[in-house]
Amino acid sequence: MAEPLICLKALTRVFHTDEVETHAIADIHFGVPRGEYVCIAGPSGSGKTTLLSIIGLLDTPTSGTYLLDNQPVSGLSGPERARVRNERIGFVFQSFNLIGDLTVAENVELPLTYRPMSSAERQRRVAAALERVGMAHRGRHLPSQLSGGQQQRVALARAVAGEPLLLLADEPTGNLDSKNGDAVMALLRDLHRAGTTILMVTHNPEYARQAQRTIHLFDGRVVEETVHERVA
Amino acid sequence: MSALLRDLRFAARVLAKSPSYTFVAVFTLALGIGANTAIFSTVNAVLLRPLPYAQPERLVVLTETQPKFEEMSVAYLNYVDYRQQNSTFVDMGAFNDASVNITGKGEPERLKAQQFSQSVLPVLGVEPLLGRNFLAEEDRPRGPKAVILTHGFWQRRFAGDPDIVGKPITLDGAPWDVVGVMPPDFRFFGTSDVIIPIGLRADEPNYQSRGSHPGITVVGRLKPDVTIEQATADLRAVGDGLAKIHEQVQDTRARLQDMHEDLVEDLREGILLLYGAVMFVLLITAANVANLMLARAMTRQKEMRIRAALGAGRWRLVRQLLVESSLLGLVGGAMGLLVALWGVDLLAAARPQAIEVLGPIEVDAPVLAYTLAVALGTGLLFGLVPAIYASRQDLAQALKEADHRATAVGGHLRVRNLLVVVEVALALVLLVGAGLSLRGFAKLADVDPGFSPGDVLTMELSLPTTRYKTAAEVRRFWTELERRVAEIPGVVSVSASSGLPFAGASESSFLMAGEPRVIANTKMAVAYFVDAGHFETLKIPLHAGRTFTAHDTEETPLGLVIDQALADKFFPGQNPVGQQLQEGMSDKGIAEIVGVVGHVAHYGLDGPQRTQYQMYYAYRQLPAPIQARIASGMTLSVRTQGEPLGYATQVRAAVAAVDPEQPVFAVQTLEQYIADSVAPRRFTSALLSVFAALALVLAAVGLYATMAHSVAQRTHELGVRMALGAQPRHVVWLVVRQGLVLVAAGAALGLAGALALTRLMTSLLTQQVSPADPATYVGVTLLLVAIGLLATYIPAQRATRIDPMVALRQE
Ligand SMILES: Nc1ncnc2c1ncn2[C@@H]1O[C@H](COP(=O)(O)OP(=O)(O)OP(=O)(O)O)[C@@H](O)[C@H]1O
Ligand SMILES: [Mg+2]
């Protein structure tokens, strides 16, 4: 087994709202080796998004340790966390989250503008990423001119343009019909084959089977792990 | 009607439900409408309100004109002939200013008097409140002495004594009968304490000479349907007739102007400028509130959509929003009225004299009506745009918006941005205007007036001819007073003079030696009649020859001190000292130039000087009758060590020691005269600066609100960017850049507007400041950008605190 890219130990996240304590995730332990494709499943409210956001450095755990690439992330400042997100993590959201004022190409370029990189290099990567998701011909369109499936493909291109170590996807097919969903899943599979580590939340058991392993959450805890046979 | 009522009630509820929004809107409106109303009350008082006389549109002011003098006062005998020989006037009356000393019961006091011919009040259609107008026999030389009191003076000096008419009072040592009291609101050119008949003096030499123009203005009432042009032609014909008989009328002709125009022509530009400025402020206010309403309309789209879905027609939605904005406008207008009442008090206290004579600045019925109209108009104006937008609900677009985050920002934001750009532009125009006028002011302070006005105390004394009958008596008074004042510790020098720069002086004619005495050869100079210490006291530098001494008396040949301008023009390349001039003041006719001094600014620190050249007489050298007349009213100037006004008591004591019955008046510093000369300009500049500051603050608030709202609207987008790794500085720059684009667009528009509009404000600019003064433009633009940065930086900073988790959450 390759060295773990993600290592979670005794991770908890407690939300306090109006005297009510919600243990969104509680005592999570697990590791994800480089290059693995992991699915996170569980009923609504079980803590999937919370877990993903902690792994994605969008949120901080209440307690526990999180080592990303053997580095503890708890000591990082806000700007440092932003830099890690920018350079090492790619996000795909259920609702695409493309920026409406920017063209498709500009959306893909966006994370690259937050790091030192020449414009030519950025253009090259944008073109490559759009090529990869089959959207090269729509670079100049605005997101509102695309269908949902096309928007999610652009979002995928944006997530991988920066060549992240880790791709996080929270119900990437949640807003898509099955045909478009299948297309997005196929793209994720391609990315995995190319070596990207993927953590994906999905409710769809069929899509879950694409991953190598599914971690089942219930009430913020890991209740079961399924290792899938390689189908391909 | 009941539908409107329902709309109103709903509108009131909506406004009450968001108190902070309502507060900001009402507060902004109150400032905008309040400033506007306050200035409009001035516009109303000065430009719109008819003069308080019967049929004032038929009143004209008659002055005289010569090729060398566009406007001069009227020779008394010419007035008599114009009055008798015209065919276009109902009647005419002559008036001028004078002063008398009142003694008897109470403090001796110098009074401002106006001399009226008997015909003045009938021409105006005004009657005294108590008593009567002058009789014909009172308005002629050696007639019975009759005086009419103004209401203010009657109240002040006689506590409104209802039986004053018929009682005698002592003026200049002689008994006068009070024949009338004027009504409280009577105002006619300057203000005065008493009115006396002008005809009493008609036999005096300067009233009997057609070459003398003793400060007389004539007011006339045109016959119905006679135009000013017709009346002018009529009087020109009379003048042609007079010219054939009287050599001195040669090229003197009558000049007519509408009376209201005559009073306001110098004020109009300044007042309209201020009115323009508050209109800009009001527009900024309206844009601001429109912006607020648009922002709210965006958050109320759902309400509108539901209303539309329930079948409300578009007009119905627009009406609801318009009712809301009108209500807001009315509440803002009501608050604005309070601001205006306060502002009007300030204006009334600070207004220059020229505005004062036009009557009170007040919030009267026309001003109230104006405020109501402005409040409603503003309400409609700022309500219309958001109303149309909010009612234009594209349902398909709305669905799409709900589906995807990815819709481009709508027309709302473009309109809001446009509004902010316009606000910034308007504010910049005002800033440039205020900046230019302030810079003009600063430059004025650098202008060298040619004398040193600091540390000089001045006061006027008017010696009554009843007690100072001869030149010797008058001369003795001044000699003794100067001696006593010079002995006061700290007094550097002292001099009496008739005529001081900025404080007024007469003009006198002169010719070069040997030139024939015809009008074509006549040249004019400002004439000062001074005592020996004048040049030392004012620190006017001596360039050649000598100044006057105690040895310059009636017995010695007449000497003149001329200024450098006269020397340069008429004695180029020569030494004027020792040369001769023909002069017009004395009967000696020929005077020798004994000295040349520096030119002084007389008519103002900059701008056109009515008369270029200056000459000084030693008044003690003038023939006795002229000397007595000139020296009976002079100004005492005292150069002191340290604060001049601190010496006033001691100088007054010196006056009382020479003559206990002699009042002094106009006790002030020489610097005050200079300050007074720029008072109207200062008034306008100060107000313009206040409005520019107000505009800047309002525009900054508008920018801030827009940016804050935009950040709120973009929370999700900014969260996504942060999730993708945007650093705080990226987010700040993103927001600030958006704000700066608006500021830059507004600034560009504003600079163009300012370049075009500031040409209209020439009266506020000095010769040293051009309407395109680069320093001003750069300076105010930097100020605007700095304020704009601040207004965007706060919301930008707040944007960095957005939780990137929003990217993961669906609404
Ligand atoms: N910011 C928050 N404040 C308070 N409670 C929160 C917050 N975010 C999440 N929670 C709570 O934490 C629990 C886990 O939420 P989370 O969004 O991780 O669930 P989820 O598994 O992603 O559900 P879903 O499948 O519906 O997306 C829920 O009970 C939720 O109400
Ligand atoms: Mg979730």
pLDDT digits (tens, 9 = 90+) for B148-168: 999 999 999 999 999 999 999
> Looking at the predicted structure, is the pLDDT value of residue A201 above 90?
yes
The arithmetic mean of pLDDT across residues A88-104, rounded, is 91
Highest mean pLDDT among B8-12, B499-503, B593-597: B593-597
Q: Are residues B195 and B308 located together in one domain of the fold?
A: no
* Per-residue confidence band for B469, with pLDDT thresholds at 50, 70 and 90: confident
Phi, psi for residue B572 in degrees, rounded to 5: -65, 130
Q: Are residues B236 and B332 located together in one domain of the fold?
A: no
> Looking at the predicted structure, is the pLDDT value of residue B394 above 60?
no
For chain A, which residues make up each domain, given as ranges? 35-62+74-227
In tens, the pLDDT along A146-198 reads: 999 999 999 999 999 989 999 999 999 988 899 999 999 999 999 999 899 99
Give the dihedral sign, CA A73/A74/A76/A82.
positive
Q: Is residue B354 part of a domain?
A: yes
* Per-residue confidence band for A54, with pLDDT thresholds at 50, 70 and 90: very high
- Residues in chain B with CB shorter than 8 Å from the CB of A53 are 805, 808
CA dihedral B315, B319, B320, B324 (to 10 degrees): 150
Indicate the residue of A86, A91, A100 with minimum beta-carbon distance to B406: A100
* Per-residue confidence band for A65, with pLDDT thresholds at 50, 70 and 90: very high
Q: Tell me whether residues A97 and B405 touch, CB distance under 8 A.
A: yes
Pairing of strands A166-170, A89-92: parallel
A45 CA distance to ligand 2 centroid (A)? 7
Q: Tell me whether residues A96 and B408 touch, CB distance under 8 A.
A: no
* Nearest C-alpha neighbor of B757 from the set B697, B688, B678: B688
Pairing of strands B559-563, B590-597: parallel
- Closest CA to ligand 1's atom 28: A45
Q: Which residues contact A118 (CB under 8 A, 6 or more apart)?
A: none
Predicted pLDDT of residue B396:
44
Among all residues of chain B, which has the CA nearest to that of A167? B724
Instruction: Among B660, B690, B710, identify where a domain stops.
Output: B660
DSSP B668-691: EEHHHHHHHHTHHHHHHHHHHHHH
Pocket test for ligand 1, best of A14, A15, A219 (most atoms within 8 A of CB): A15
* Per-residue confidence band for B395, with pLDDT thresholds at 50, 70 and 90: very low
Phi, psi for residue B602 in degrees, rounded to 5: -110, -40
Alpha carbons B581 and B571: distance in angstroms, whole number: 11
> Looking at the predicted structure, is the pLDDT value of residue B542 above 90?
yes
Q: Are residues B121 and B243 located together in one domain of the fold?
A: yes
The nearest CA of chain A is from the CA of B407 a distance in Å of 5
Q: Is residue B463 part of a domain?
A: no
Predicted pLDDT of residue A146:
92
- Closest CA to ligand 1's atom 20: A45
CA dihedral A123, A125, A126, A129 (to 10 degrees): 160
Q: Tell me whether residues B716 and A114 touch, CB distance under 8 A.
A: no
Indicate the residue of A97, A115, A142 with minimum beta-carbon distance to B720: A97
Amino acid at B125: G
A56 vs B: CB within 8 A:
yes
Predicted pLDDT of residue B440:
84
Alpha carbons B508 and B500: distance in angstroms, whole number: 15
Instruction: Tell me the pTM.
Output: 0.81
Predicted pLDDT of residue B473:
93
Q: Are residues B529 and B598 located together in one domain of the fold?
A: yes
Tokens standing for residue A7: 């290592």
Q: Are residues B634 and B537 located together in one domain of the fold?
A: yes
Predicted pLDDT of residue B80:
95
Count of structural domains within chain B: 4
In tens, the pLDDT along B226-247 reads: 999 999 999 999 999 998 988 8
Q: Is residue B361 part of a domain?
A: yes
The nearest CA of chain A is from the CA of B699 a distance in Å of 26
Indicate the residue of A91, A101, A113 with minimum beta-carbon distance to B723: A91
Q: Is residue B62 part of a domain?
A: no
Alpha carbons B362 and B366: distance in angstroms, whole number: 10
Residue A48 in contact with ligand 1 by CB distance below 6 A: yes
Q: Are residues B330 and B428 located together in one domain of the fold?
A: no
> Looking at the predicted structure, is the pLDDT value of residue B484 above 70?
yes
Residue with more model confidence, B361 or A9: A9
Predicted pLDDT of residue B410:
55
A208 CA distance to ligand 1 centroid (A)? 21
* Per-residue confidence band for B391, with pLDDT thresholds at 50, 70 and 90: low
In tens, the pLDDT along B647-673 reads: 999 999 999 999 988 888 889 999 999
Among all residues of chain A, which has the CA nearest to that of B718? A99
Residue with more model confidence, B67 or A204: A204
In total, chain B counts a number of residues equal to 811
Residue with more model confidence, B37 or B399: B37
Q: Which domain holds residue B172?
A: 68-250
In degrees, to the nearest 5, what angle opens at C-alpha B133 toward C-alphas B130 and B137?
A: 140
In tens, the pLDDT along B339-388 reads: 999 998 888 887 777 777 788 888 889 999 999 999 999 988 888 877 77
* Per-residue confidence band for B683, with pLDDT thresholds at 50, 70 and 90: confident
> Looking at the predicted structure, is the pLDDT value of residue B85 above 90?
yes
Q: Are residues B48 and B73 located together in one domain of the fold?
A: no
Q: Is residue B673 part of a domain?
A: no
Residue B492, helix vs strand vs coil: strand
Alpha carbons A153 and A146: distance in angstroms, whole number: 10
The arithmetic mean of pLDDT across residues B751-764, rounded, is 83
Residue A55 in contact with ligand 1 by CB distance below 6 A: no
Q: Which residues contact A191 (CB under 8 A, 6 or more apart)?
A: A156, A160, A167, A198
Q: Is residue B449 part of a domain?
A: no
In total, chain A counts a number of residues equal to 232
- Integer angstrom CA distances of residue B548 from B143, B520, B529, B536, B610: 42, 31, 11, 11, 26
In tens, the pLDDT along B292-317 reads: 888 777 777 767 777 766 766 777 77
Q: What is the 3-state secondary structure (H, E, C) of B134-180?
A: CCHHHCCCCCCCEEEECHHHHHHHHCCCCCCCCCEEEECCEEEEEEE
Q: Is residue B58 part of a domain?
A: no
**CATH no. of A35-62+74-227:** 3.40.50.300
Summary mean pLDDT of chain B:
88
Q: What ligand has the least distance to the C-alpha of A218?
A: 1
> Looking at the predicted structure, is the pLDDT value of residue B402 above 60?
no
Tokens standing for residue B387: 């109303």
In degrees, to the nearest 5, what angle opens at C-alpha B373 toward C-alphas B370 and B374?
A: 85
Q: Is residue B456 part of a domain?
A: no
Indicate the residue of B400, B408, B724 with minimum beta-carbon distance to A110: B724
- Closest CA to ligand 1's atom 12: A24
Q: Which helix (H) or strand (E) holds B434?
A: helix B411-446
Share of chain B above pLDDT 70, in %: 95
Predicted pLDDT of residue A24:
93
Residue A46 in contact with ligand 1 by CB distance below 6 A: yes
A25 CA distance to ligand 1 centroid (A)? 9
